[in-house]
Amino acid sequence: MAKTEFVIEPGQQDIVITREFDAPREVVFEALTDPALVAKWWGGPDGVTVDQLDIKHGGRWRLVSRDDDGNEWAFRGVYHDVTPSERVVYTFEFEGMPGHVALETVTLEELDGKTKYVSTSVYQSIEDRDGMVQSGMETGAEASLDLLAALVEGR
């Protein structure tokens, strides 16, 4: 299985996540934008409920994760740019900490039938970025991207 690479530089406001998928970028893009597919990989093994996923400039998204005890965590944002099979730019906000918004840019690069996925998240402050890192974000992102890989590489 491919390794997910995290670049988290001290004193910076961004996180860069890179992963290679053994699937064409059109397939990866579909898994990033089709609500039925997003529900299968986003949020790790517990899955997610897609409340809203309007993939277009100005469109909104909202996803809700639940654990076995019934606890809920909701995430939301607005799409700023969508270039099919190439790039998606959107905001990301955890509803449990309103006002702490990151701008995320996901690019997909075709590599001989494989796809290089790069997600760059820019936070409003170093403190916000560090708080996200301390929340266990790497573990959650790795689990989600492992599920995404299993989904797209099997198609």
pLDDT digits (tens, 9 = 90+) for 1-41: 468 999 999 999 999 999 999 999 999 999 999 999 999 99
* Sign (positive or negative) of CA dihedral 3, 43, 91, 113: positive
pLDDT of residue 145: 95
- 6: CB partners within 8 A, 6+ apart: 15, 16, 17, 138, 141
What pLDDT shows up at residue 73?
Answer: 86
Nearest to 3 by CA among 110, 109, 138, 113: 138
Q: Please tell me whether residue 83 adopts helix, strand or coil conformation.
A: strand
Tell me what pLDDT residue 2 has: 62
Output the pLDDT for position 5.
Answer: 96
Q: CA-based Rg of the chain, rounded to a whole angstrom?
A: 15
Alpha-carbon 4 to chain mean position: 13
Quote the strand ranges of the chain, DSSP E: 5-7, 14-21, 49-53, 60-66, 72-83, 87-94, 101-111, 114-122
Query: What's residue 47's pLDDT?
Result: 74
For the domain bounded by 5-153, which CATH number is listed?
3.30.530.20
In this structure, which amino acid lies at residue 15?
I
Closest Cα partner for 1 from 16, 20, 18, 17? 20
- Domain positions in the chain: 5-153
Q: Which positions of the chain have pLDDT values less than 50?
A: 1
For residue 1, the model assigns a pLDDT of 47
**What is the amino acid identity at position 41?**
W
Cα torsion for 24, 88, 2, 113, to the nearest 10°? 20
